[in-house]
Chains A and B, each alone.
Chain A
């Protein structure tokens, strides 16, 4: 039985009259690349926020890395990395300063910080941009930096919220190479996206629509079940119902 990294049951989030996440249940296994597909406003970001301890659920339960999302969110935070949909690094800091800042926030030792920083810069090919202001970077590079900072402290579980939005195809390719690399190293990667082609890269994916999960399976499984060649068709069929 593979270890469960993320577990939610009947997770719900209601804002005033609007139910953003409606009774959602799923499990994500260790080392899995789990995709979360859905249109904008479907509830993907809200779900991630609850799992990261940024938002309190209205109802339901969940465990991330074995810790309860309602009561142990501080423990969860030690073990997760998060990359938000909106670029959330500092544009007026240099690449190096940003990395150093987040390393410091996660309380990495000086030695570890230096090591991880250099590894990140090398891996993401940011050497030339090291001392440039982050705001000067092209979008694809910014996202790369953000992704790197999200995993700087070597977390077991990584949440990526639309990491490739607006990014050029080459950067997207490199992104997914990196995501595979993370998964190969035993990390669980939880990815939301609205790019239909990217879901092929996931081990399993769930489709979210108006706060509910309307499908959950491997990409192949979904295509077979709906007798379609592409996930896009599956999605459209589901939504039409």
Chain B
């Protein structure tokens, strides 16, 4: 009967409003998190420390060096005399890469088909190394076209089209994932704490002794937190998109609507955990562990699902964030409509309802 759900909903809202400190944390923290995570996951590189070993000392060589330094990506740390110095400085981390120009550079560039120039990159951070390599490609491709008199193939692999504006690209890629992660964590925590706290304080017993049904309790608990989590979601989407300049090519209403479904799933998941965990503390820890870790590792947030072993790929099917990432990335970056997203949405809704159902059954008034 609906009328029994309303007192529960009303009570939850009173709890929320009577605790302004928690409210501020709930609303403020995710916003802070998305900014921090955004910067943490930003894998662009600026001011790459470059060393130069110029054996030729000629004008064309200086032009080459200048091409690097004026690109905005590289900073010239120093000019060195031999490879040993370069090696030492890379080891000391004073340099991230080095440009070695052969003695015959000037003549070679003007007369030969191709001129070998050595780029040494500190590969100990393979992610930066790849990015540096791509910047080098960008610069040398550009240089090659200005120097050449005829059309000939460059010995470099031109990857300009993919890595155009690489800085923003990585952030565009990560912000949806961060949104998914924060949202699932906050939502699950909200309901999980709500129930676990009542159990610990003993107030749950008083409710269970009444004829109210488990489903009524469960629905009554979820509804107020849908509103709260939605507010959170709105905030972090706005902040994430505006602060980091992520493109928004799709419909915001669609995104908000589908975010509601995702929130519903996450809230139900938190509820489920609260019925399993024996205490508030354990409940919180389990919630954090099962929302953050799978979302970060198994949702396609950072690591592509396609490159995972089959068993893990199967496991990713259980991670709600996986489906929401399809939705968020699709709407933000590709601007696609619901016709491509209904499967992901449907799965999320089913998962949420399943979690709710299991929670209600476990709620069966048998306090053990």
Flag A69-83 by CB within 8 Å of B: 1 or 0 each: 000011001101010
Nearest chain-B residue to A146 (Cβ)?
Answer: B206
Picked from B18, B210, B366, B367, the residue with its CB within 8 Å of the CB of A105 is: B210
- B202 with A86: CB separation less than 8 A: yes
Please classify how large the interface on chain B is, using the bins under 10, 10 to 19, 20 to 34, 35 or more: 20 to 34
- With A77-B210, A106-B210 already in contact, the answer to whether A101 and B7 are too (CB < 8 A) is yes
- B4 with A55: CB separation less than 8 A: no
Q: Which of B8-16, B103-111, B328-336 contacts A (4 or more CB under 8 A)?
A: B8-16
B1, B205, B210, B212 interface centre (most CB from chain A within 10 Å): B210
Please classify how large the interface on chain A is, using the bins under 10, 10 to 19, 20 to 34, 35 or more: 20 to 34
- B211 with A78: CB separation less than 8 A: yes
The verdict on A102 contacting chain B, using a C-beta distance below 8 Å, is yes
- A77 with B209: CB separation less than 8 A: yes
Of all A-B residue pairs in the complex, the 3 with the closest CB atoms, nearest first, are: A104-B7, A88-B206, A86-B202
Alpha-carbon gap, A130 to B202, bound state (A):
23
- With A52-B209, A77-B210 already in contact, the answer to whether A90 and B367 are too (CB < 8 A) is no
Q: How many cross-chain pairs have Cβ atoms below 8 Å apart between A and B?
A: 74
- Min CB distance B13 to A, Å, is 11
- A54 with B367: CB separation less than 8 A: yes
The verdict on B365 contacting chain A, using a C-beta distance below 8 Å, is yes
Picked from B3, B10, B202, B212, the residue with its CB within 8 Å of the CB of A88 is: B202
Nearest chain-A residue to B217 (Cβ)?
Answer: A105
The verdict on B277 contacting chain A, using a C-beta distance below 8 Å, is no
Q: Which residues of A contact B7 (CB under 8 A)?
A: 100-101, 103-105
Nearest chain-B residue to A153 (Cβ)?
Answer: B210
Can you list 30 contacts pairing A with B, beta carbon distance less than 8 Å? A53-B209, A54-B208, A54-B365, A55-B368, A73-B365, A74-B211, A77-B210, A77-B211, A82-B209, A84-B202, A87-B202, A89-B206, A90-B11, A90-B203, A92-B15, A92-B18, A92-B19, A93-B14, A93-B15, A93-B18, A97-B11, A97-B14, A101-B10, A102-B210, A104-B3, A104-B10, A105-B4, A105-B210, A107-B211, A149-B206
Which residues in window 319-368 of B have CB below 8 A to A? 365-368
By secondary structure, the B interface counts as helix
The verdict on A49 contacting chain B, using a C-beta distance below 8 Å, is yes
The verdict on A56 contacting chain B, using a C-beta distance below 8 Å, is yes
- Min CB distance B190 to A, Å, is 16
- With A53-B365, A73-B365, A92-B14 already in contact, the answer to whether A105 and B202 are too (CB < 8 A) is no
Flag B120-147 by CB within 8 Å of A: 1 or 0 each: 0000000000000000000000000000
Q: Which residues of B contact A105 (CB under 8 A)?
A: 4, 7-8, 207, 210, 212
Alpha-carbon gap, A31 to B205, bound state (A):
25
The verdict on B6 contacting chain A, using a C-beta distance below 8 Å, is yes
- Min CB distance A159 to B, Å, is 9
Q: Which residues of B contact A133 (CB under 8 A)?
A: 18
Which residues in window 1-59 of B have CB below 8 A to A? 1, 3-4, 6-8, 10-11, 14-15, 18-19
